[in-house]
């Protein structure tokens, strides 16, 4: 059994689906009579669908019955799925495939650790599903990031101790979840926003073989 395991978030790490989430939430906001900006969409990264709708309705100062709330959740997701439908391998973010391929060749077990309930169809669409030994997503968790649940389940499936797990994340809540799980956290994106991460990169093109080799067989030191 491998000593280490690698865990990837999906949205914003493997593919830039944040733009599709944004369009679907914006469509709903506009239908309800208010604007939703890209800046406000930052608050939605790594956050569960239910929590996103709660925040959206707060922004629009709209109160909803449980029935109406559930109907809007479904409407947003159906709209989002129309954007997902058109995705293909060209939407994989730069050098993600290279890193997955490297880990696969080194026989390192890989898990997804995502808040999304649409993770599997998206990975199928972009033809990356076969790289993942396990998929842990919004369908498997009861507590959303920054709670470490999603990553702890992934570690259990990988059969790897938490401190030997490496997590790639683009959301503050995701980095906090990885840190709470005592895993090695790698922020992908703006280092000023993801300052709590153990390591920071703008994207996977900056992650070289030496760095990956260094992570393999290393473990998280006490912070």
Q: Which residues are at the interface with ligand BG6 (CB under 6 A)?
A: 10-11, 21, 44-49, 52, 77, 114-118, 138, 171
The sign of the dihedral angle between the CA atoms of 57, 58, 60, 63 is positive
Rg over alpha carbons for the chain, rounded to the nearest Å, is 17
Q: Given the complex with Mg ion, which of 32 and 196 has the nearer CB atom?
A: 196
For ligand BG6, the closer of residues 45 and 157 by Cβ is 45
Cβ atoms of 44 and 204 within 8 Å: the answer is: no
Nearer to ligand BG6, 98 or 117 (CB): 117
Q: Residue 135's binding partner, choosing from ligand BG6, Mg ion, none, with beta-carbon cut-off 5 to 8 A by kind?
A: none
How many Å apart are CA 111 and CA 16, to the nearest integer?
A: 19
**Residue 12 makes contact with Mg ion by CB under 5 A:** yes
Find, among 218, 214, 168, 216, the residue nearest to 194 by Cα: 168
- Cβ 85 to ligand BG6, closest distance in Å? 13
In angstroms, what is the minimal distance from the CB of 45 to Mg ion? Answer: 6
Q: Does 11 bind Mg ion (CB under 5 A)?
A: yes
Cα 74 from chain centre? 21
Q: Choose the contact partner of 92 out of ligand BG6, Mg ion, none; CB within 5 to 8 A by kind.
A: none
Cα–Cα distance, 148 to 151 (Å, whole number):
6
E strands along 32-164, which residues?
110-113, 134-136
Binding partner of 27, given Mg ion, ligand BG6, none, CB within 5-8 angstroms per partner class? none
Residue 220 Cβ vs ligand BG6, minimum distance, rounded to whole Å: 23
Instruction: Write the DSSP symbol of residue 3.
Output: S
> Binding string, 169-188, against Mg ion, x = CB under 5 A?
-xx-----------------
CB of residue 175 vs Mg ion: minimum separation in angstroms? Answer: 10
So which residues are the catalytic ones? 9, 11
* Cα 8 to Cα 23: distance, rounded to the nearest angstrom: 24
User: What angle in degrees, to the nearest 10, is found between the helix axes of 49-59 and 18-31?
Assistant: 40
**Nearer CB in complex with Mg ion: 68/202:** 202
189 binds Mg ion (CB under 5 A): no
């Amino acid at each position: 059994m491998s000593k280490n395991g690698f865990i990837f978030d999906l949205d914003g790490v493997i593919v830039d689906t944040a733009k599709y989430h944004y369009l679907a939430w914006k469509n709903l906001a506009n239908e309800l009579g208010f604007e939703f900006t890209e800046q406000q969409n930052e608050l939605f990264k790594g956050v569960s669908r239910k929590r996103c709708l709660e925040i959206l309705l707060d922004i629009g100062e709209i109160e909803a019955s449980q029935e109406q709330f559930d109907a809007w959740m479904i409407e947003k997701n159906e709209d989002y799925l129309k954007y997902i439908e058109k995705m293909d391998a060209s939407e994989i973010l730069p050098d993600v495939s290279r890193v997955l391929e490297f880990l696969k060749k080194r026989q390192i077990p890989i898990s997804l650790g995502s808040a999304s309930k649409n993770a599997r169809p998206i990975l199928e669409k972009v033809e990356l599903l076969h790289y993942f030994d396990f998929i842990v997503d919004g369908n498997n968790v009861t507590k959303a990031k920054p709670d470490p649940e999603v990553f702890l389940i992934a570690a259990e499936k990988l059969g790897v101790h938490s401190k030997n797990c490496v997590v790639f994340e683009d959301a503050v809540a995701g980095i906090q979840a990885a840190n709470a799980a005592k895993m090695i956290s790698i922020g992908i994106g703006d280092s000023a926003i993801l300052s709590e991460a153990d390591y920071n990169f703008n994207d996977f093109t900056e992650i070289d073989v030496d760095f990956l080799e260094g992570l393999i067989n290393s473990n998280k030191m006490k912070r």
